[in-house]
Amino acid sequence: MTRNQRLLAGLGIGALVVYLTTATGVVHDNRITVALAFAIGPVAVIAILRLVASLAPDIDPPTQRLCRIFLATAFVLFTTMVVIQQMLQLQFRDLAAAAPDAATVATLGLVRQGVNTVQRGLDVAFDLFYCVGIVVLAGALYRHPAFGRFVGALGIASGGALLALNLIAFPYVPAESGLVDLGPVTGLWWLMIIGLQWRRRRSQAQALAAA
């Protein structure tokens, strides 16, 4: 694995760790976490494009295009969602701190609930493209010798179930409707993909060196 590939893999793992820790509540929002969260989308787009390109000999061109389109679009929407989410949170926090009385604070709270639906809608849009992208990629990896049926089936099941739960819970998120949030499970699936791809590229490099 080249230096750039190791750096890209490290950034991808770091982005996933940030997502998993914030999604599960292990780490609460702060300036550093917000900055790292903003990086998840761009890093994910680069990593996905590189991953799909590396699988090109084993995945047909139409499937490659679908993976790129759905997953890249998903993380553009994710970045938009995170930026708007944090913008609303910080702006309304400052407005509430400067409010002259309790009535104004209460009014700001109602306004915030209304405009918050924008980022919630973007969250659903992200999940739609993200889940379809995972299912398409997992389906392509199902018969890939370096990944196998378990990895493919896990991706199809987790991506399909996450999509179904989001549609059932709409216009709310699954966690608010008493349903399970499978987002972290798909994050772990990506960690598995990165690890297997890392091993695959290392094996290829060793085979070339021995030839």
How many domains does one find in the chain?
A: 1
Q: Give the model's pLDDT for residue 67.
A: 92
Distance, CA of 130 to chain centre: 7
Taking the C-alpha atoms of residue 153 and residue 56, their distance in angstroms, rounded to an integer, is 20
User: Tens of pLDDT along the chain (211 residues)?
Assistant: 555 556 555 666 666 666 655 555 555 556 666 777 787 888 888 888 888 887 777 788 888 899 999 999 999 999 999 888 888 888 888 888 888 888 888 888 888 888 888 888 898 999 999 999 999 999 988 888 778 889 899 999 999 999 999 999 888 888 888 888 888 888 889 888 888 887 777 776 666 666 6
Write down the pLDDT at residue 113: 82
pLDDT at residue 153, as a whole number: 93
The secondary structure of 31-50, three-state, reads: HHHHHHHHHHHHHHHHHHHH
Residue 179: domain span: 3-210
Amino acid at 107: T
CB 45 within 8 A of CB 72: yes
Closest CA to 77 of 34, 22, 130: 130
Structure tokens at 185: 């499970």
**The pLDDT of residue 130:** 94
pTM, to two decimals:
0.78
pLDDT of residue 198: 78
The contacts of residue 135 (CB under 8 Å, 6+ apart) are 155, 156, 159, 160, 163
